[in-house]
Amino acid sequence: MAQLWGGRFTKETDKLVYNFNASISFDQKFYKEDIEGSIAHVTMLGKVGILTAEETEAIIRTLKDILSEVENGTLEISDEYEDIHSFVEANLIDRLGDTGKKLHTGRSRNDQVALDMRLYTRKQIKETDLELKELLETILKIMKENTETIMPGFTHLQKAQPITLAHHMGAYFEMFKRDRLRLHDIYERMNYCPLGSGALAGTTYPLDREYTAELLEFYGPTLNSMDGVSDRDYLIEFLSALSTIMMHLSRFSEEVIIWNSNEYQFVEIDDAYSTGSSIMPQKKNPDIAELVRGKTGRVYGALMSLLTTMKGIPLAYNKDMQEDKELSFDAMDTAKGCIALFNGMLATMKFNKDRMRKSANNGFTNATDAADYLVKHGVPFRDAHGIVGRIVLYCLDKNIAIDDMSLEELKAISPVFEEDIYDAISMETCVNTRLTIGAPSKKAMEDAIRKEEEYLSND
Ligand code: ARG
């Protein structure tokens, strides 16, 4: 048990207490950020003259050694240290003696951990954003290839009106685009450096916080040292953004699962992204989509957990905050992994265009257009709605589609119908006359695709 703070204690910490308190099993995840933060801190201490040039140079060189030894596996992060900060500092002191003991001048573990977590989260935001960008590229490709692929659009999971696969995919494009915008917003708000906040009240050393912030590529230092050590808003915002991403992925997964079912057969998930059953030889299960849907709960859980942890904490640092890590790390890894896997599944999925088209044909998805036809010929909409309702009943009874009715049959229900009704309610007409911005017609979709392409290439 190696501790940094033994001085005022007369007894060893109880072993159970030590283990309960220790965080090295999980905060070792940001060893790199911890060392990078220390290098920046020491560089600044050297610049303002708190450390000599030789001391600064020796500490930086040794910190770099420690970093590369951890990275190449020659130095193992052992759990005999309380946390990653103690591990790095103890190693430095082992190698440099008294010079190593100067690293922590003008710093507390409170602002150190606040920095580490921020650096780590900042990197995660960027990586998640990149994964989302790749997913958007896959979606856009499917959109471009399918502006004429007609399928039913649903409300209440009942066939509603015909749309195209491009249009359906475009809805997800918008969702994940907003997710990226959310990540960018969070980054803008969180990219300030808490180092130099000290334990809570800054420090009497003449630290150049602007310089440290600059070295670590922050926009600047945080403006209140109590907030600097105890702010975890950025993490809550990120977990919230990850939860929204997972919610989107989960909805998408649910659709893939439905589409991949025997009843729908709109898509076929590639063998590489499906799994079999140990008992039923015929099965090819959409486990990846189901797992993505299932893992959404874990990410929501992390968000709720941190919100709850933070809600009763008085200023400034309290040990409760150590609980920000495990669930957040899990949520970050989970969400990033899910985006990548989902992307792989989507990119290799086959769309069964025939099945989609047939499904659009046989579900009265053109009923609204039949009513609109009557309206265009002078029938008040409410009456037109009633007439088409009777037509649907008639078709249900005969197990046919509206298009299968003869003109005589149609005229028997309303004399307004003429030969041009068939063209007016064809799937192509239904889709391609929907020309408003954001609608499914080929023309409107091509405009939307152009804008989405522009957005992706402006990154
Ligand atoms: N392991 C701690 C955490 O994650 C580091 C900060 C400890 N500070 C303290 N005053 N005990 O929050």
How much is the pLDDT for 105? Answer: 98
Residue 277: count of CB within 10 angstroms of its CB: 10
Q: Which of 116-125, 214-223, 269-278, 357-366 has the weakest average pLDDT? A: 269-278
Q: Per-residue confidence at 118, pLDDT binned at 50, 70, 90?
A: very high
**Alpha carbon distance 209, 340 (integer Å):** 38
Q: What is the mean pLDDT of the chain?
A: 96
Q: Are 250 and 296 in contact (CB under 8 A)?
A: yes
Rounded mean pLDDT, 404-418 = 97
Rounded mean pLDDT, 47-54 = 98
How buried is residue 394: exposed, middle or buried, by Cβ count under 10 Å (0-12/13-18/19+)?
middle
> Which residues, in sequence order, are bridge partners of residue 275?
285
How much is the pLDDT for 430? Answer: 96
CA-angle at 186, arms to 108 and 104, nearest 5°: 10
Q: Label the pairing between strands 150-155 and 158-164.
A: antiparallel
Residue 452: both structure tokens together: 């989405």
How much is the pLDDT for 269? Answer: 96
CA of 113 to the centre of ligand 1 (A): 7
Pseudo-torsion of CA 296, 298, 299, 304, nearest 10°? Answer: 120
How much is the pLDDT for 1? Answer: 59
**Alpha carbon distance 396, 249 (integer Å):** 36
Rounded mean pLDDT, 286-301 = 97
CA of 14 to the centre of ligand 1 (A): 18
Q: Per-residue confidence at 116, pLDDT binned at 50, 70, 90?
A: very high
- For ligand 1, atom 11: residue with the closest CA: 319
Mutate which of 3, 13, 109 for ligand 1 pocket (most atoms within 8 A of beta carbon): 109
3-state secondary structure of 362: coil
Q: Are 298 and 334 in contact (CB under 8 A)?
A: yes
Q: Are 297 and 327 in contact (CB under 8 A)?
A: no
Using alpha carbons, list the distances in angstroms from residue 69 to 75, 156, 292, 427: 5, 58, 36, 65
**Alpha carbon distance 175, 180 (integer Å):** 9
| Ligand 1 pocket, residue 83 CB under 6 Å | yes
Supply the pTM of this predicted model: 0.95
Task: Report the catalytic residues.
Answer: 156, 277
**Alpha carbon distance 441, 276 (integer Å):** 39
Pseudo-torsion of CA 147, 148, 153, 159, nearest 10°? Answer: -170
CA of 212 to the centre of ligand 1 (A): 21
Looking at the domain that runs over 363-452, which CATH code has it been given?
A: 1.10.40.30
Q: Which of 20, 63, 23, 22 has the alpha carbon at shortest distance from 40?
A: 63
Residue 11 has pLDDT above 90, yes or no: no
How much is the pLDDT for 281? Answer: 79
**Alpha carbon distance 376, 391 (integer Å):** 18
Rounded mean pLDDT, 254-281 = 92
Q: How far is CA 191 from the centre of its chain?
A: 19
| Ligand 1 pocket, residue 82 CB under 6 Å | no
Rounded mean pLDDT, 250-257 = 98
More confident residue, 417 or 274: 417
Q: Are 380 and 175 in contact (CB under 8 A)?
A: no
How much is the pLDDT for 279? Answer: 77
How much is the pLDDT for 2? Answer: 62
Superfamily name with CATH number, domain 110-145+163-353: Fumarase/aspartase (Central domain) (1.20.200.10)
Q: Which of 234, 133, 163 has the alpha carbon at shortest distance from 192?
A: 234
**156-193 pLDDT per residue, tens:** 999 999 999 999 999 999 999 999 999 999 999 999 99
Residue extents of the structural domains in the chain:
6-105, 110-145+163-353, 363-452
- For ligand 1, atom 10: residue with the closest CA: 110
**302-327 pLDDT per residue, tens:** 999 999 999 999 999 999 999 999 99
Per the omega criterion (within 30 degrees of 0), is the bond before 367 cis? Answer: no
> According to DSSP H, which parts of 232-380 are helical?
233-259, 287-310, 325-348, 353-361, 367-376
Residue 187: count of CB within 10 angstroms of its CB: 18
Q: Per-residue confidence at 6, pLDDT binned at 50, 70, 90?
A: confident
- Check the CA dihedral 13-19-21-24 and report its sign: positive
Tokens 């977990």 found at: 239
Superfamily name with CATH number, domain 6-105: Fumarase/aspartase (N-terminal domain) (1.10.275.10)
- Report which residue type is found at 16: L
> Which residues, in sequence order, are bridge partners of residue 161?
153
More confident residue, 280 or 445: 445
Question: Which atom of ligand 1 is nearest the CA belonging to 82?
Answer: 1
Q: Label the pairing between strands 192-193 and 220-221.
A: parallel
**Alpha carbon distance 351, 264 (integer Å):** 11
How much is the pLDDT for 104? Answer: 97
- For ligand 1, atom 2: residue with the closest CA: 322
* CA-based end-to-end distance of the chain: 49
State the DSSP code for 105. T
